[in-house]
């Protein structure tokens, strides 16, 4: 016998909760809406609605995947970031709310300035660069990534959100193949120490691409390279804005100070951790 949406949601939520998933009820609702095409209001308005068998099968397949700790965004193929929907695939890092801290820092620097030319290093899904272009209508950008597949995802997100005509996507290992000078260099580089990756939550180490996590033996490999090469790509009055991991602030400051930079500001995520650092020329 077919079950109503409420019973399906109840059973699915219980199953996810039994796996230790703290967001079980919310996850079940989001997956149900995606599988059925129904909104939350529809479920409330028609509590005895019977779900078509194909939609129920699709819903339970989603729940089985979530039971393996696959993130909801991976299952659905989309992630909301700074109020916009981005396509995500196994080839790109799943954008997190923490990275919105970097967006806020960049927009604060952009106030009162003319059109900016932006470089996004290791663009992944393009969440950072596409968001900045959408928020700054006069800006242009170059976005680099070593992964061709990631660049295709980023380019698709730029097209979907109407900013592709102001962005150039380049396959490059950090600054390799990147020409010109920029008003902002932004990046959420990999910053997990290689030996710590195995200890990350399952939904991270099993589903985010290793290249987007691996910061080398000390987690600072990418920051070290950006610090050493950014100076040659900065226009006068330009800034570098980077995301960092918990406890990395002093080490990253040391890297940039050694290359003639001064830290101008630090920005905290919602958990109270220093998540983003802004550098200018000393």
C-beta of residue 255 within 8 angstroms of C-beta of residue 201: no
Q: Pick the last residue of a domain from 17, 35, 68.
A: 68
144-198 pLDDT, tens digit each: 999 999 999 999 999 999 999 999 999 999 999 999 999 999 999 999 999 999 9
Same domain as 258, residue 129? yes
Same domain as 177, residue 48? no
Same domain as 143, residue 58? no
Same domain as 159, residue 41? no
Minimal CA–CA distance to 119: which of 190, 167, 81, 162? 167
CATH number, domain with residue 49: 1.10.8
CATH number, domain with residue 141: 3.40.50.150
Same domain as 211, residue 108? yes
79 in a structural domain: no
Residues of the chain with pLDDT > 70, as a percent, come to: 99
Domain that holds residue 46: 5-68
Angle at the Cα of 167 (from 165 to 115), degrees rounded to 5? Answer: 90
82 in a structural domain: no
pTM for the model stands at 0.92
pLDDT at position 115, please? 93
81 in a structural domain: no
- 3 state DSSP class of 87: strand
- Which positions of the chain have pLDDT values less than 50? 1
Cα gap 35→95, rounded to integer Å: 23
Same domain as 31, residue 111? no
135 in a structural domain: yes
C-beta of residue 177 within 8 angstroms of C-beta of residue 233: no
Tokens encoding 215: 């910061």
- 3 state DSSP class of 59: helix
* Number of domains the chain is built from: 2
Query: In angstroms, how far is CA 39 from the centroid of its own chain?
Result: 26
The helix or strand, by DSSP H or E, that contains position 78, with its residue range, turns out to be: strand 78-81
Same domain as 209, residue 106? yes
pLDDT at position 102, please? 98
Cα gap 272→159, rounded to integer Å: 34
74 in a structural domain: no
Same domain as 104, residue 31? no
Same domain as 165, residue 44? no
């Amino acid at each position: 016998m077919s079950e109503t949406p409420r019973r399906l949601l109840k059973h699915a939520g219980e199953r996810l909760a039994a796996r230790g998933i703290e967001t079980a009820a919310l996850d079940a609702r989001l997956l149900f809406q995606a599988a059925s095409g129904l909104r939350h209001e529809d479920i409330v308005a028609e509590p005895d609605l019977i779900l078509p068998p194909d939609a129920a099968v699709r819903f339970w397949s989603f729940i089985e995947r979530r039971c393996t700790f696959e993130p909801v965004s991976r299952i659905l193929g989309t992630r909301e970031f700074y109020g916009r929907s981005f396509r995500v695939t196994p080839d790109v890092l799943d954008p997190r709310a923490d990275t919105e801290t970097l967006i806020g820092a960049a927009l604060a620097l952009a106030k009162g300035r003319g059109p900016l030319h932006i470089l996004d290093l290791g663009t992944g899904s393009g969440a950072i660069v596409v968001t900045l272009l959408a928020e700054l209508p006069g800006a242009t950008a170059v976005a680099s990534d070593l992964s061709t597949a990631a660049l295709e995802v980023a380019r698709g997100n730029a097209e979907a959100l109407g900013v592709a005509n102001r962005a150039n996507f380049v396959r490059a290992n950090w600054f390799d193949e990147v020409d010109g000078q920029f008003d902002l260099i932004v990046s959420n580089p990999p910053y997990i120490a290689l030996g710590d990756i195995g200890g990350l939550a399952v939904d991270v180490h099993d589903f985010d691409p290793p290249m987007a996590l691996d910061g080398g033996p000390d987690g600072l490999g990418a920051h070290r390279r950006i610090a050493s090469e950014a100076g040659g790509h900065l226009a006068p009055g330009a800034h570098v804005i980077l995301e960092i991991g918990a406890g990395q602030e002093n080490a990253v400051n040391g890297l940039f100070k050694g290359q003639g930079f001064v830290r101008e500001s630090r920005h905290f995520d919602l958990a109270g951790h220093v998540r983003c650092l802004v550098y200018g020329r000393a």
